[in-house]
């Protein structure tokens, strides 16, 4: 490792600082650590989502809608259409749940559009003003770049899958399906013989769902955040008197613009995929094999 990257202003320190969570230890011996920044931004974005949707519902008019009401109606109509096409059972929960997942995941992803140094710089300045050490003022602003967030969301979906299965098939039907699908058999002996294989496949199937949901969303958002950090490194510690600033500055702006435009597509697509897979999984859980 070069000497430049080991200094406080080097590339390694810059990346590590941006990828470090604001953590608080809980319990003796640091048994558990809370990523406070993730919790705060998730709570704030959730409250904003609830506030604006309730406000839009209360101020909705039958005449010509306003711009925000139009956007909300487009989202609701679009998601409701997908639910009607995908979920073949009856549930008043699916459509509101899908809208909530799509909007909340989108808002959390959209935090990646905030300039990578803006909020961490403000947080460090606040620490310095309060007399605290600014070098240990850590802040990450994209909740979905935290595996705890994405796994928590996918775990909630996993629990809903089980609840929907029991609700639509009953405890007996749900339990029987665990040991009789996907390999169906006629006769008691054949069913008993295939039960261990069916049970093993069911465990794998149920375990893969939350893992795939969480890792897909986390991987895309973590990679997007890291690329923004790497783009910011192009002019790290550069001064106006240095030739590299005039060479790398315009290149940094072009690369940043291209990646931002592409990343907007990723942000929307990942929110859509997470919502769509949730609908599909719940539909599969409600249907009989």
Q: Please report which helix (H) or strand (E) contains residue 267, including its range.
A: helix 243-286
| Neighbouring residues of 70: CB distance < 8 A, sequence distance ≥ 6 | none
Give phi and psi for 241, each to the nearest 5: -80, -10
Residues with a catalytic annotation lie at 212, 216, 220
CA distance 186 to 253: 66
3-state DSSP call for residue 23?
strand
Q: Which of 211, 210, 207, 183 is nearest to 195 (CA)?
A: 183
Task: Tell me the backbone φ, ψ of residue 33, rounded to 5 degrees.
Answer: -120, 135
* Separation CA 236–CA 9 (nearest Å): 8
DSSP 136: G
**Using alpha carbons only, how large is the chain's radius of gyration in Å?**
24
Helix (H, G, I), strand (E, B) or coil at 30: coil
Q: How far apart are CA 111 and CA 146, in angstroms?
A: 13
Residues β-bridged to residue 32: 26
Q: End-to-end alpha-carbon separation of the chain, Å?
A: 57
The secondary structure of the chain in percent helix, strand, coil, rounded to multiples of 5, reads: 75, 5, 20
Residue with tokens 């904003």, as numbered in its chain: 48
Residue 138: CB atoms within 10 A of its CB come to: 20
**Which two tokens mark 27?**
């319990």
């Amino acid at each position: 490792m070069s000497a430049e990257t080991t200094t406080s202003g080097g590339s390694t320190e810059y990346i590590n600082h941006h990828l470090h969570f604001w953590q608080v230890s809980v319990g003796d011996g640091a048994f558990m650590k809370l990523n406070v920044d993730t919790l705060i931004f998730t709570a704030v974005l959730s409250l904003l989502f609830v506030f604006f949707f309730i406000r839009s519902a209360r101020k909705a008019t039958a005449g010509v809608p306003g711009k925000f009401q139009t956007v909300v109606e487009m989202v609701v109509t679009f998601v409701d259409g997908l639910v009607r096409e995908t979920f073949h059972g009856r549930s008043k929960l699916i459509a509101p749940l899908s809208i909530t997942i799509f909007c909340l995941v989108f808002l959390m992803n959209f935090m990646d559009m905030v300039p990578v140094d803006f909020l961490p710089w403000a947080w460090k300045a606040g620490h310095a003003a309060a007399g605290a050490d600014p070098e240990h003022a850590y802040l990450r602003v994209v909740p979905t770049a935290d595996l705890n967030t994405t796994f928590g969301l996918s775990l909630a979906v996993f629990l809903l899958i089980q609840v929907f299965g029991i609700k639509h098939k009953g405890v007996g039907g749900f339990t029987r399906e665990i040991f009789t699908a996907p390999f169906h058999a006629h006769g008691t002996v054949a069913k008993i013989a295939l039960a261990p294989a069916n049970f093993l496949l069911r465990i794998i199937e149920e375990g893969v769902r939350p893992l795939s949901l969480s890792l897909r969303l986390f991987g895309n958002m973590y990679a997007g955040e890291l690329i923004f950090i790497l783009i910011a490194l192009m002019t790290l510690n550069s001064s106006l008197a240095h030739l590299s600033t005039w060479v790398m500055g315009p290149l940094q702006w072009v690369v940043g613009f291209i990646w931002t435009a592409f990343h907007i597509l990723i942000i929307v697509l990942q929110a859509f995929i997470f919502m769509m897979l949730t609908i599909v999984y719940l539909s599969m859980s409600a249907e009989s094999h």
